[in-house]
Structure 1
Amino acid sequence: MDVIREWYQLWQTYPYHNEINFMVFIPLFFVLRSWLVKKLNLYFNSKQENNDLSPFIQSLINWGTFYAIIVYAIIYFRDTLWLGETWFKIGDTPVTTLTFIVPAIIISLSIKFSNFISRFLLHRVYSRYEMDQGMQYTFSRLMHYGIIVVSILVALPVIGFDLSILTVFAGVAGIGIGFGMQNIISNFISGLIVLFERPIKVGDRIQLGDLHCDVEHINIRSTIVRTRNNEHIIIPNSQFIENQIMNWSYGDPKVRQEILIGVAYGSDVQLLERLLLQAAQEHEEVLDDPPPRVDFLNFGESSLDFRLLYWIPHPVLRTMIKSALNFRINDLLQEHGVEIPFPQRDLHLRSVDTLLLSNLQVEMEQKKELQAEN
Structure 2
Amino acid sequence: MTFFETYQTELITSLFTLIFLFIIRLISKKVIHKIGKKTGINDARIQLISRYSTVTLVLIALLVETFIFGAQLKDLALVFSSVFAVLGIALFAIWSILSNITSGVIMFFSFPYKVGDKIQIHDKDFPIEAIIEDIRAFQLHLRLDNGNLVTYPNNLMLQKAVTLVEKDAMDEGTDAI
TM-score (norm 1): 0.27
TM-score (norm 2): 0.49
